[in-house]
Chains A and B, each alone.
Chain A
Amino acid sequence: MQKKEKKQIGKEIITTSEVTKSFGRFQALKGITAKVYEQEVVVVLGPSGSGKSTFIRTLNRLEPHDSGTIIVDGVELNDDVKNLQYVRSNVGMVFQQFNLFPHLSVLRNITVGPQKVRGLKRGDAEDIAMELLNRVGIPEQASKFPSQLSGGQQQRLAIARALAMQPKIMLFDEPTSALDPEMIKEVLEVMTELAESGMTMICVTHEMGFAKEVADRFLFFDEGLIVEEGTPEHFFTNPQEERTKLFLSQIL
């Protein structure tokens, strides 16, 4: 816990207020008000169907929200395309199913964003890509295709792909849920390293060991609302709400 004392928590970088989202008649988010600060690692917990995935997907507008406001790095997310582009180029995302581009090589998966969006030259983009592949520990796979990689390697590649855009914030949507148990560790190691480097991260995850280690704050979702929030110590030693207690008793 020593490490967290030292960590500088900066100014607000994501502010949401009363965000709602419905799919047909089902209301997934019923008014989410939350703040995330620079360099903070926030872990989102909750039973399935509680709206936690939907919530982080509204943060880069993969799901447009119905009402309320979302402000990311001082820019409000709305129908304005310029705002959307600003937010998306500053928010990286890692998906449960990796969503790598199967027809592009590992290296090209990473360089496509920097080249097309940030306008880098091919050589520069490839240098960055190799650097990132080193960072996530799979530099020798550069010329292969995603399908030739193991699940853990694929997810690490997905993290490298998102980092290549030099985002200020990283969203993780259950990054280890589709992995075999023996591959979870290698992905969590990369994420831990990323957290320690000071990246602002919001993770939906069920990996409690990882969450306990790196999280600065927990948000507990249930039925489209934030039921409880607090530090990991608070959650593991002294949860207040019945639903939180029930959930923790089920997964611990």
Chain B
Amino acid sequence: MQNFYKWGFETFFGSVFNTIITLLSLIILFFFINSILGFISTSEWKVVEVNRRLLLIGRMPPEHEYRVWPILWVASYLIMASIKTWGSPSYKDLLFIALGITIVCVIFTTSSTYLWVLTSLLICIFSYVITSFIGKSTTANNKNKKILILLWILLLPIIFTILLIGDGPKPTLWGGFLLNIILACIAIGFGFPLGILFAIGRASTLPAIKIVCTIYIETIRGAPLVAWLLLAWFVLPKFLPQFWGINEVSVVVRAMIILSAFTSAYTAEVIRGGLQSIPKGQIEAADSLNLGYANKMILIVLPQAIRVVIPALISTFIGVFKDTSLVFILALTDLLQVGRIIPEQDPEFFGRQLEALCVVAFLFWIISISLSNLSKKVEKSLGIGIR
């Protein structure tokens, strides 16, 4: 204990400079804590409570609300099963996941939806338990992995089927956090493979392909996303062919096209960095085995190139996920837009922007931090076998 005091004194007040730094930090900390306490003591969360539905699914008509639950169930099953299969989570990780889910549930469960939420929670637990049961046998586990990968690929079609089947709501009525997630999934789902193609194209030795890809990447990256979204709003219909009414597609689809294009350009540059890090010897070895261009790329070059750039890649994906909130420019009500509007709609909630935005920020944060953890896990699991 004596040592501890001595250590504390020397660390914080050991010299004049340290003393000044300590005092300054204390003052800043005091004001910081004071303002947070002030906000918490005066905050009124009713603005969030009343608008929970709006934050999550926007202006989707109440009679279509039931469509959202199956999506949540499928996603819960997939996410928990994948965490168990590939993540090998520690107790700390599980605690973290449980905490995140609990907070989200506490904020967003209402008396009319608690049964649905409960079902989702049960599916999460069921999924985890059954996957750990499957995981005991290696062959079953391998089969399960294949099924999960297939389900992940089918996830987007499943979501769209559920949302659109049998006279579903118009895509322009999709909103809230659901819209952000759908847009991000589409942008990453299409942007990533496209980005790989553009990266390979830009690294190609054929001048025509190289020039086309370079122009595409540099054009898309050269202007702000907001500009591209505005372009989609006003100009895109004129560029699209007039059959089947493609040129009149809904703004949601236009947003998807723009976000995918934007993601593909950024991903392409990230992956190109990875491609350049592959030693020439790898390509020569593949050539000397006569593997052929496609096999060489798919089996030898890309797996190594993508592995190198996973941190940058996930960081790009997180950026894209947050960029989806820019679709408010297309008059879509995404999560951030809902958070901005709700305090203004009722005189009772005037001046409650901070509460609404806190919840919005928290939702974005939950997804971003999960992606960031995913990146760490993937890096770790791919660590074996790296040169």
A interface with B by C-beta (< 8 Å): 60, 62, 85, 88-89, 91-93, 95, 97, 99-105, 112-113, 116-117, 145-147, 161-162, 165
Provide the bound-state CA to CA distance between A93 and B289, in Å: 8
Question: B270-295: contact bitstring with A at CB < 8 Å (1 yes, 0 no)?
Answer: 00000000010110110111111001
The CB with the most chain B CB atoms within 10 A, among A95, A97, A101, is that of: A101
Shortest Cβ gap from B296 to chain A (Å): 9
* CA–CA, A103 and B307, complex, Å: 9
CA–CA, A240 and B122, complex, Å: 88
User: Does the CB pair A89–B290 fall under 8 Å?
Assistant: yes
Cβ–Cβ contact B285 & A101, under 8 A: yes
Interfacial chain B residues near A62, Cβ < 8 Å? 284, 287-288
- Are A162 and B288 neighbours in the complex by a CB distance under 8 Å? yes
Which residue in A85, A93, A103 is a CB contact (below 8 Å) of B303?
A: A103
B385 and A147 contacting across the interface, CB-CB below 8 Å? yes
Task: Please provide the 7 A-B residue pairs with the shortest distance between their CB atoms, ordered closest to farther.
Answer: A145-B385, A99-B285, A88-B290, A99-B281, A93-B288, A113-B289, A102-B387
Of the A-B pairs whose beta carbons lie under 8 Å apart in the complex, a sample of 24, sorted by A's number, is A60-B287, A60-B288, A62-B284, A85-B290, A85-B292, A88-B290, A89-B290, A92-B288, A93-B284, A93-B288, A97-B281, A100-B285, A101-B282, A101-B285, A101-B300, A101-B304, A102-B304, A102-B387, A104-B385, A105-B385, A112-B291, A112-B300, A113-B291, A117-B295
> Looking at chain B, what size class is its interface with the partner chain?
20 to 34
Q: Closest A residue to B387 by CB, please name it.
A: A102
| Chain B 217-244 near chain A by CB (<8 Å), digits 1 or 0 | 0000000000000000000000000000
Least CB separation from B294: chain A residue: A116
Chain A nearest Cβ from B376, distance in angstroms: 19
Residues of B within 8 A of A162 (CB): 288-289
With both chains docked as a complex, state the minimum distance between the C-beta of B17 and any C-beta of chain A, in angstroms.
Answer: 47
Q: When A101-B300, A103-B386 are in contact, do A116 and B285 touch as well, CB less than 8 Å?
A: no
Given contacts A102-B386, A145-B384, A145-B385, contact A95 B289 (CB under 8 A): no
B212: Cβ under 8 A from any A Cβ: no
- Interface check B299, CB cutoff 8 A: yes
Question: A100, A116, A117 — which one has the most chain B CB atoms within 10 A of its CB?
Answer: A116
Q: Which residues of A contact B304 (CB under 8 A)?
A: 101-103
- The B contact surface, by secondary structure, is helix
- Is the CB–CB distance between A117 and B385 below 8 Å? no
The CA-CA distance from A103 to B386 in the complex, in Å, is 6
Contacts of B307 in A (CB 8 A): 103
A105–chain B nearest beta-carbon distance, Å: 7
A116 in contact with B387 (CB, 8 Å): no
CB distance from B284 to the nearest CB of A (A): 5
B379 to chain A: closest CB distance in Å?
A: 14
Give me 11 other A-B pairs in contact (C-beta within 8 A), A116-B291, A145-B384 excluded: A62-B287, A95-B284, A99-B279, A99-B282, A99-B284, A99-B285, A102-B304, A104-B385, A112-B291, A117-B292, A162-B289
The minimal Cβ–Cβ distance linking A156 to chain B, given in whole angstroms, is: 15
Alpha-carbon gap, A198 to B317, bound state (A): 55
Across the interface, name the chain B residue whose C-beta is closest to A90. Answer: B290
Q: Which residues of A contact B299 (CB under 8 A)?
A: 112, 116
Chain A hits for B288, CB < 8 A: 60, 62, 88, 91-93, 95, 162
CA separation between A165 and B303, bound complex, in Å?
23
Q: Contact: A147 with B282, CB < 8 Å?
A: no
Contact A117 B290, CB 8 Å, known A99-B285, A145-B384: yes
Q: Give bound CA distance, A102 to B303, whole Å.
A: 10
CA distance A85 to B384 in the complex (A): 33
Residues from chain A with Cβ under 8 Å of B291 in the complex:
112-113, 116-117
Minimum distance in angstroms from B129 CB to a CB of chain A = 31
Task: Name the contact of A147 in the complex, choosing from B292, B300, B387 (C-beta under 8 A).
Answer: B387
CB nearest neighbor in A for B287:
A62
Set of chain A residues within 8 Å of B295, measured between Cβ atoms? 116-117
A95 and B281 contact, CB distance less than 8 A: yes
- Decide: A112 near B289, CB < 8 A? Known: A102-B304, A103-B303: yes
Enumerate chain B residues within 8 angstroms of A97, measured Cβ to Cβ. Answer: 279, 281
Given contacts A101-B300, A102-B385, A145-B384, contact A95 B285 (CB under 8 A): yes
Complexed CA–CA distance, A85 and B292 (Å): 8
Contacting pair A147 B284 (CB below 8 A): no
Query: A101-B282, A103-B307, A112-B299 given as contacts; is B385 within 8 A of A165 (CB)?
Result: no
- Identify the closest chain B residue to A116 (Cβ): B295
